[in-house]
Chain A
Amino acid sequence: MDDAIRTERLTKYYGGRKVVDHLDLRIPKGTVYGLLGRNGAGKSTTLKMLTGMVRPDYGRIELLGEDVETLSPETRARIAYLAEGHPLYTSMTIRQAIAFTTSFYPNADRPFVEMILDHFALSPKAKIGRLSKGQRAQVSLALALAPDPELLILDDPTLGLDTNVRRDFLESMIQIIQRRGRTILFSSHVLGDVERVADRVGVMIDGVLRVDCPVEQFKSSVRKVVAEFGHEPPEVPPCPGLLSDWRVGTRRELVFVGYGPRQRAAVEALSPRRIEVVELNLEDAFIEYTRGPRRPLPIFTQFQSDIQGGSADESIGVEGAA
Chain B
Amino acid sequence: MRALAWKELREVLGITAIALACYLALAVNAMGARVFDWVPAMPAGTHGVPFLEANFTWFFTFISVVFAAALGFRQSAWESSRGTFLFLLHRPLRRETIFFVKLATGAGVLLICASLPIVLYGAWAAVPGHHASPFEWSMTASTWRLTFLLPLLYLGAFLSGQRPARWFGTRLLPLVASILCLALLSWVSWWWSVGFPLTLLLYVLLTANVCFVGQSRDYA
Contact = CB atoms under 8 A, between A and B. Distances in A.
Interface of A: 14, 45, 48, 51-55, 73-74, 76-77, 79, 81, 83, 85, 87-92, 99-101, 103-105
Contacts of A92: 7, 10
Contacts of A88: 84, 87
B162 to A, nearest CB: 14
Nearest to B6: A100
B11 A76 contact: no
A99 to B, nearest CB: 7
Interface in B86-102: 86-87, 89-94
Contacts of A48: 86, 218-220
Given A53-B89, A81-B86, A100 B3 contact: yes
B108 interface: no
Contacts of A105: 92
Contact of A87 (B10, B11, B82, B93): B82
Interface residues of B, number: 22
Interface of B: 2-3, 6-7, 10-11, 82-87, 89-94, 216, 218-220
Nearest to A12: B218
B7 A77 contact: no
Contacts, number: 63
Contact residues of A: prevailing secondary structure: loop
A101 to B, nearest CB: 8
A5 to B, nearest CB: 15
B92 A81 contact: no
A54 B219 contact: yes
Nearest to A155: B86
A74 B92 contact: yes
Contacts of A14: 220
A196 B49 CA distance: 77
Given A87-B82, A91-B11, A105-B92, A99 B218 contact: no
A7 to B, nearest CB: 17
Contacts of A54: 218-220
B84 A89 contact: yes
Contacts of B216: 55
Contact of B220 (A45, A87, A90, A99): A45
A95 to B, nearest CB: 13
Nearest to B218: A54
Contacts of B86: 48, 53, 81, 83, 87
